[in-house]
Amino acid sequence: MQATGSAELRDVYEEQYSADGDDAARYGRWRALCADGKADHVVRLAGALGEPPRRIAEVGCGDGVLLELMERRGLGDEHRGYEISEKAVTIAGDRLGAGVVERFDGEHLPVPDGAYDLGVLSHVLEHVPDPLPLLQETARACRAVVVEVPLEDNRSASRPEAERGRQAIGHLHRFNRGHVHELCAAAGLRVEAELSDPLPLKVHTFFADSAPARAKAVAKAAVRRGVYLASAKAAERAFTVHYACLAVHQ
Ligand SMILES: C[S@@+](CC[C@H](N)C(=O)[O-])C[C@H]1O[C@@H](n2cnc3c(N)ncnc32)[C@H](O)[C@@H]1O
């Protein structure tokens, strides 16, 4: 069943960061693999800012791996994370040091207006029942915001099997590019730069545990990349691509 209450939602994320042993290692590798592409996206989009961001906050930073990769890529020299899951904050503390990531209520960031040069909301807004207030709060605390979401308002993602998969991982919204533009405008932000990504082969094949499953994933990745290269817009209508934009105050 889909969780919609805030306590239920919190439990969904505590569970997602609570795997043990081999599962914990595997999900950790999966998050790191995905964060690699996300960090590239943030670095590319931050290039459209007048000057490089120094203070960076990631809101809904999970286990902190994206923060770590932004730091390794030399983006920013002060990094802070905010997260609703206690388990994720503990994992992030082991990774980044105590205090870098702080637990918050999912609504209010404990900092003054404009405290950060850049805020990052990466794969968070699709998890939040009402995404606008969290985007507004991030925009209050940050001079610019990178928003990244999967665009799931497409034919493939409307299959019942895909719908069940989305519910299992806590996605409450199926965004298209226009929805993200509308959210940014409603938060008083202008989209300054944007990109989309059909995702690399290593992401498509990560969970393929057998030779047939791998062959299927390789074929699917190749078809998707071909469609995407022919027309990014057609790709967005047909299957899920990741979308990221840099939004600045109007
Ligand atoms: C898919 S993970 C993304 C983690 C990280 N941002 C990344 O891109 O790798 C979604 C994260 O959003 C967090 N989250 C869910 N609802 C939230 C809310 N209202 N405020 C902040 N974070 C939230 C979850 O706890 C989870 O860590």
| Separation of first and last alpha carbons in the chain | 39
* 61 Cα–ligand 1 center, Å: 6
For ligand 1, atom 26, the nearest C-alpha belongs to 62
Residue 8 confidence (pLDDT) above 80: no
The C-alpha atoms of residue 54 and residue 89 are separated, in whole angstroms, by 23
Residue 4 confidence (pLDDT) above 60: no
Residue 202 confidence (pLDDT) above 60: yes
The C-alpha atoms of residue 152 and residue 120 are separated, in whole angstroms, by 20
Residues in contact with ligand 1 (CB, 6 Å cut-off):
13, 31, 35, 38, 59-62, 66, 83-85, 88, 106, 122-124, 127-128, 134
For ligand 1, atom 23, the nearest C-alpha belongs to 60
For ligand 1, atom 8, the nearest C-alpha belongs to 122
CA proximity to 116, closest of 67, 44, 180, 188: 67
Atom of ligand 1 nearest to the CA of 60: 22
* 88 Cα–ligand 1 center, Å: 9
Question: pLDDT of 155-164, one tens digit each?
Answer: 999 999 999 9
Q: What is the mean pLDDT of residues 53-61?
A: 98
Q: Is the dihedral of CA 7, 130, 146, 230 positive or negative?
A: positive
pLDDT attached to residue 25: 92
Lowest-confidence segment of 6-20, 41-55, 184-198 by average pLDDT? 6-20
pLDDT attached to residue 10: 75
Q: Is the dihedral of CA 219, 222, 224, 226 positive or negative?
A: negative
The C-alpha atoms of residue 64 and residue 93 are separated, in whole angstroms, by 8
Question: pLDDT of 109-128, one tens digit each?
Answer: 999 999 999 999 999 999 99
> Quick one: pLDDT band at residue 213, thresholds 50, 70, 90?
very high
* 84 Cα–ligand 1 center, Å: 7
> pTM of the predicted model, to two decimals?
0.95
* 230 Cα–ligand 1 center, Å: 32
> Quick one: pLDDT band at residue 20, thresholds 50, 70, 90?
confident
